[in-house]
Amino acid sequence: MINLETPKKFKPLISQANMVAQELLRPNSRKYDIAEHEYPVELDMLRSLIDGMEDGAAMGAGAAGVGKGGADGEKKKDDGGVKNGTNLSTALSIIEMCWGDAGLLLTMPGQGLGNSAIAAVANEEQLERFKGKWAAMAITEPEAGSDSASIRATAVKDGDHYILNGEKIFVTSGERADVVVVWANVDPSAGRAGIKSFVVERDNPGLKLDRLEHKLGIRASDTANFILQDCRVHENNLLGDPEVRTDKGFGGVMQTFDNTRPLVAAMALGCSRAALDETRKLLESAGFEIDYDKPSAHQPGCVAEFIELESDWEAALLLTMEAAWMADNRKPNSVQASMAKAKAGRSGTDITLRCVKLAGSVGYSENELLEKWSRDSKILDIFEGTQQIQQLIIARQLLGKSSSELK
């Protein structure tokens, strides 16, 4: 049975994440929001600290809890018991870290979305070979945004190599990562079943950096666009089954998102929690008392609205914890992961913007971080599947419809 209280064994990790957020991320938040594309050198020290921590991987936004083994990413015998593993601990620690700064978390060395793909589908030899590599993920294309099945990048077999050609946009940490996990189609005639993922070394001459994006939010994180031009990749760098199997579609590469969407939801929760905490301070300093025992109708309008925002945040938190817990216990969680991502993403943008409104001119000023959190939150409702895509996934699952039947 699921228990949505924070497990006691995770409290030291959560405390460590909160300390990092307070002492390192929050103090540098505005600095790297202004200095876009400048690498945050402070994170190198943080990576060294995390590498030395027993549960260090759980403090990033990448591969933690996505492996093929037990709830903690290890090959454990299933004893039938309930597990609180690294999916849940990662989500809880990410909330703390993004309370500090979401952009800095995203650019933490060694914690890219590509690491999740490697952990999810790589074989043992690949897991060992790419261990310690910082892996970005290249999925989105100019003609294939929310619909990953429409990918046009191709991978043509040439002896013991594949030749990749195409264009990839909005690659988080693309410039700074060691490798990039590129999605490409090995057999366009097979449709989505032909889509495979390849690990491409960042210094591969066929992987050409086109530009870095200037963004609304998460400006500390670099977002790169690439051109793949006759990019030669050894067949040993193909992740998962090389065979094109139309009976299985491309569920293997998509399963990564069932684990990572709750983590993106956790990022939205951390960012919006920061806005709520700051707004509470501002309201209380202005003489407003937040009384949870008094009906909203009997409280000042700003206090009633604040309590409403907090309840919305709590609902998103419970959905996120449920989705992460299900992943730890190897339960199908596609619907729950999409519900968590949809709810937290939408609530995050709503909460942060309304906190800016409640704070008035203070919220709009760069003297506080409220306006920054409202900008950072927007992408958390978009990447790894937009709000509309999450609703489609949920509807298809609940109604038993295929992607061709419900578009």
Greatest mean pLDDT range, 61-70, 81-90, 184-193, 296-305 = 296-305
CA dist 232 and 195 (Å) reads: 17
Nearest to 3 by CA among 322, 261, 263, 250: 322
Q: Sign (positive/negative) of CA torsion 263, 171, 52, 30?
A: negative
Q: What is the mean pLDDT of residues 32-57?
A: 78
Q: Residue 218 phi/psi, 5° resolution?
A: 35, 50
Topology of domain 8-129, per CATH?
Butyryl-Coa Dehydrogenase, subunit A; domain 1 (1.10.540)
pLDDT of residue 252: 56
Considering the chain, tell me which residue range(s) the CATH 2.40.110.10 domain(s) occupy. 135-249
pLDDT per residue as tens digits for the range 246-295? 666 555 556 678 888 999 999 999 999 999 999 999 999 999 999 999 99
What is the reported pLDDT for 14?
Answer: 93
Distance, C-alpha 310 to centroid of its chain:
22
Look up the CATH number of domain 252-399. 1.20.140.10
pLDDT at 121: 85
Q: What are phi and psi of 372, to 5 degrees?
A: -70, -45
- Lowest-pLDDT range, 159-168, 245-254, 390-399? 245-254
* Among 124, 70, 127, residue whose Cα is nearest residue 327: 70
135-249 folds as: Butyryl-CoA Dehydrogenase, subunit A; domain 2 (2.40.110)
Contact 151, 250 (CB under 8 A): no
How many residues appear in the chain? 407
* Residue 100 neighbours by CB under 8 Å, 6+ apart: 20, 21, 22, 24, 25, 26, 29, 270, 274
Residue 83, pLDDT score = 81
Q: SS3 sequence, 127-160?
A: HHHCCCCCEEEECCECCECCCHHHCCCEEEEECC
pLDDT of residue 69: 44
- Three-state secondary structure along the chain? CCCCCCCHHHHHHHHHHHHHHHHHHHHHHHHHHHCCCCCCCHHHHHHHHHHCCCCHHHHCCCCCCCCCCCCCCCCCCCCCCCCCCHHHHHHHHHHHHHHHCHHHHHCCCCCCHHHHHHHHHCCHHHHHHCCCCCEEEECCECCECCCHHHCCCEEEEECCEEEEEEEEEEEECCCCCCEEEEEEECCHHHHHHHEEEEEEECCCCCEEEEEECCCCCCCCCCEEEEEEEEEEEEHHHEECCCCCCCCCCCHHHHCHHHHHHHHHHHHHHHHHHHHHHHHHHHHHHCCCCCCCCCCHHHCCHHHHHHHHHHHHHHHHHHHHHHHHHHHHCCCCCHHHHHHHHHHHHHHHHHHHHHHHHHHCHHHHCCCCCHHHHHHHHHHHCCCCCCHHHHHHHHHHHHHCCCCCCCC
116 pLDDT above the threshold of 90 = no
The mean pLDDT of the chain is 89
- Over residues 191-198, the mean pLDDT reads 90
Answer yes or no: 384 catalytic.
Answer: yes
- The proportion of the chain whose per-residue pLDDT surpasses 90, expressed as a percent, equals 71
- The identity of residue 160, as a single letter, is D
The separation between CA 108 and the C-alpha centre of its own chain, rounded to angstroms, equals: 12
Domain with CATH 1.10.540.10 in the chain: 8-129
Number of Cβ within 10 Å of residue 314's Cβ equals 12
Q: Report, as an integer, the average pLDDT of 226-248.
A: 90
Give residue 384's identity as a one-letter amino acid code.
E
What percent of the chain has a predicted confidence (pLDDT) above 70? 89
In tens, the pLDDT along 313-325 reads: 999 999 999 999 9
Mean pLDDT to the nearest integer, 88-94 = 93
Give pLDDT, residue 403.
81
User: Which residues, in sequence order, are bridge partners of residue 209?
Assistant: 226
Q: With a cut of 90, say whether residue 70 has pLDDT above it.
A: no
Tell me: pLDDT of 47 over 80.
no
pLDDT band at 101 (very low <50, low <70, confident <90, very high): very high
Q: Is the pLDDT of residue 64 over 90?
A: no
The single-letter code of the amino acid at 175 is E
Tell me if 63 sits within 8 A of 126, measured CB to CB. Answer: no
Where along the chain do the CATH 1.20.140.10 domains lie? 252-399
pLDDT at residue 86, rounded to an integer: 85
Confidence (pLDDT) at 72: 43
Cβ count within 10 A of residue 360: 12
Longest dimension (CA), the chain: 75
Answer yes or no: are the C-beta atoms of 202 and 179 closer than 8 Å.
yes
Q: Is the pLDDT of residue 180 over 60?
A: yes
Considering 167, 175, 278, 384, which one is annotated as catalytic?
384
**Residue 25: its pLDDT value, please?**
96
Min mean pLDDT across 47-61, 149-163, 201-215, 372-386 is at 47-61
What CA–CA distance (Å, rounded) separates 290 from 280? 8
**Mean pLDDT, residues 93-105:** 96
Q: What is the pTM of this model?
A: 0.91
Question: Which one has a higher pLDDT value, 73 or 41?
Answer: 41
Nearest CA among 295, 392, 407, 308 for reference residue 357: 308
